[in-house]
Amino acid sequence: MSLKGIILRHNKNTAQMPSEPLPLPNKVSIPMQQSIGAPCDVLVKKGDKVLVGQKIGDSDKYMSVPVHSSVSGTVTGISELLLVSGKVCKCVDIETDGEQKVIDGIKPPVVTDRDSFCRAIKESGCCGLGGAGFPTHVKFGFDDKKFSVDTLIINAAECEPYLTGDHREMLENTDSIFEGIAHIKKNLGIENVYIGIEKNKPDAIKLLSEKAAQQGGIKVVPLKEKYPQGAEKVLVYNITGRIVKEGKIPADEGVIVINVSTCGFIGDYMRTGMPLVSRRMTVSGDAVKKPCNVIVPLGTSFKKVLKFAECDFDGMEKAIAGGPMMGIDLFDLHDPVCKTHSGVLAFKKKNKEKEPLQTNCIRCGRCIEACPVGLMPTVLEKAFDNKDRETLKKMKVSLCMNCGSCTYVCPAKRNLAEKNQLAKALLRT
Ligand code: SF4
Ligand code: SF4
């Protein structure tokens, strides 16, 4: 595998904007599923008083993380939210009381070994903050008879255009990131640590390199500005030269990858015991008058966040939760911000007449050139259209990481990445 990928305009106009706390909303709606694990059962009912950090959702499934209240206030009801997967998840609706009282008993967890560390991380409600939402305790709880892990990679590439939350995390929460690394190293017995940062963040590279030099065993790796540099398999290859094969995970190659903001949260949690109740996110796009980075209580509506950034709702055509390449179109701005939302982008209406229409494939090969994992998107598209499962399997559609590079470069405007997602779903049925 070589990193092909594409060069994108970064549009990281919020990189030098320090994070601001979002004014407390008067209500939040907190989903019971905010990771890729099993949904939680609701632990509260209408009329209950809740406090910041109180557990309001939990599950007995290992592949799940609990959910905590981001505010103090009163539960006004249990509503339902339609997820992009088409499933419906329960949400706890809370009217805030403005006091932000924290529940008693918040204190640093007692950790003595890997098991107690993984239990503490699960209790914190931690999942990957980069967008994937993989439960962090599951990643740390690898079977050490099966996997021999010797390397930790901190993913600070942040290769999606517009997003700068990880960049701000590195500048504003540096010590917590290194505390998080120290806890992971100690409890998982990992020797080598690499922090991979794209070269478009020179201040973060400089700051973290200086800190790393004081610690030992931690190396900052400046990475080419090429999308999708932050994709897990691409990052593992570019930093260690190890190839994570089809159907395998980085631990098969002795590597654990975690996002830099997740690492910063772990440092904070181990020092304070406050579970995951808010997150840093970027608000940007040409429909936003005041692009910014904000710290948002989980469960706040996207509308409230966009309003804070002075979004022109009338002139806006669409909003995206996440980055422009891998983010999800928002159909309802009242949807709540979850643990996986690294940003929200709002874009103005475009002149549709000037937009090129989709045409037949002209066999230019640009999609193949762009694909970071060496797939042939044009062949996969044809196979999907013909519902040809054998070819889809043979051409390894399961390796597609949905990075969107093929769609982006296609002069015929074919929906290649989207078809691959549908093709993977087809193979699962
Ligand atoms: S979306 Fe899939 S097929 Fe397209 S470039 Fe990315 S990995 Fe390759
Ligand atoms: S980039 Fe588009 S036009 Fe070119 S080969 Fe791929 S699908 Fe065809």
Over residues 114-148, the pLDDT tens digits come to 999 999 999 999 999 998 899 999 999 999 899 99
Residue-wise pLDDT for 206-254, tens only, equals 999 999 999 889 999 999 999 999 999 999 999 999 999 988 999 999 9
> Any idea which ligand is nearest the CA of 402?
1
Question: Would you call 35 helix, strand, or coil by DSSP?
Answer: coil
**Which residue stretches of 157-259 are H helix?**
165-172, 174-188, 202-215, 232-240
Side chain identity at 416, as an amino acid letter?
L
Side chain identity at 205, as an amino acid letter?
I
Question: For residue 152, which of 115, 118, 184, 129 has the smallest C-alpha distance?
Answer: 184
Ligand 1 mean position, distance from CA 170 (Å): 29
User: What pLDDT does residue 4 have?
Assistant: 76
Q: Is omega for the bond preceding 228 within 30 degrees of 0, making it cis?
A: yes
Ligand 1 mean position, distance from CA 263 (Å): 27
pLDDT at 352 over 70: no
Ligand 1 mean position, distance from CA 371 (Å): 5
Q: Hey, CA dihedral for 117, 119, 120, 124, is it positive or negative?
A: positive
- Cα 360 from Cα 423, distance rounded (Å): 20
Write down all domains in the chain, each with its CATH number in brackets: 20-106+275-348 (3.10.20.600), 114-272 (3.40.50.11540), 366-428 (no CATH)
Q: Is any ligand 1 atom within 6 A of the Cβ of residue 370?
A: yes
Ligand 2 mean position, distance from CA 6 (Å): 15
**Which residue did the predictor score with more confidence, 352 or 385?**
385
pLDDT at 2 over 80: no
From the CA of 362, give the closest atom in ligand 2.
3
Question: For residue 64, which of 29, 30, 35, 31 has the smallest C-alpha distance?
Answer: 35
Residue-wise pLDDT for 149-203, tens only, equals 999 999 999 999 999 999 999 999 999 999 999 999 999 999 999 999 999 999 9
Summary mean pLDDT of the chain: 95
Percent of the chain past pLDDT 90, that is, above it, reads 92
- Cα 5 from Cα 368, distance rounded (Å): 10
Question: For residue 200, which of 161, 258, 145, 172 has the smallest C-alpha distance?
Answer: 161
User: What pLDDT does residue 400 have?
Assistant: 95
pLDDT at 300 over 70: yes
From the CA of 417, give the closest atom in ligand 1.
1
**Which residue did the predictor score with more confidence, 351 or 423?**
423
pLDDT at 351 over 70: no
Q: If you take atom 8 of ligand 1, which residue's CA is the nearest one?
A: 371
Residue-wise pLDDT for 371-425, tens only, equals 999 999 999 999 999 999 999 999 999 999 999 999 999 999 999 999 999 999 9
Ligand 2 mean position, distance from CA 361 (Å): 5
Q: Give the model's confidence band at 333: pLDDT under 50 very low, under 70 low, under 90 confident, else very high.
A: very high
Q: If you take atom 6 of ligand 1, which residue's CA is the nearest one?
A: 403
Q: Is any ligand 2 atom within 6 A of the Cβ of residue 360?
A: no
Scanning the structure block, which residue is given the tokens 């092909």? 4
Q: Is any ligand 1 atom within 6 A of the Cβ of residue 325?
A: no
Q: Give the model's confidence band at 92: pLDDT under 50 very low, under 70 low, under 90 confident, else very high.
A: very high
What mean pLDDT do residues 68-75 have?
98
Q: Is any ligand 1 atom within 6 A of the Cβ of residue 400?
A: yes
Query: Which of the 8 DSSP states describes residue 320?
Result: E
Residue-wise pLDDT for 17-68, tens only, equals 999 999 999 999 999 999 998 999 999 999 999 999 999 999 999 999 999 9
Q: If you take atom 4 of ligand 2, which residue's CA is the nearest one?
A: 364
Q: Is any ligand 2 atom within 6 A of the Cβ of residue 385?
A: no
Q: Give the model's confidence band at 1: pLDDT under 50 very low, under 70 low, under 90 confident, else very high.
A: very low
DSSP 114-167: HHHHHHHHHHTT-B-TTTT--BHHHHHT--TTT----EEEEEE---SSS--HHH
Q: Is any ligand 2 atom within 6 A of the Cβ of residue 411?
A: yes
Ligand 2 mean position, distance from CA 362 (Å): 6
Q: If you take atom 8 of ligand 2, which residue's CA is the nearest one?
A: 361
pTM metric for this prediction: 0.94
Q: Is any ligand 2 atom within 6 A of the Cβ of residue 366?
A: yes
Ligand 1 mutation target, pool 237, 366, 406, most atoms within 8 A of CB? 406
Ligand 2 mutation target, pool 359, 414, 415, 416, most atoms within 8 A of CB? 414
- Cα 408 from Cα 370, distance rounded (Å): 9
Question: For residue 227, which of 10, 1, 5 has the smallest C-alpha distance?
Answer: 5
Scanning the structure block, which residue is given the tokens 């940062």? 197
> Any idea which ligand is nearest the CA of 381?
2
Side chain identity at 88, as an amino acid letter?
V
Q: Is omega for the bond preceding 31 within 30 degrees of 0, making it cis?
A: no
Q: Is any ligand 1 atom within 6 A of the Cβ of residue 375?
A: yes
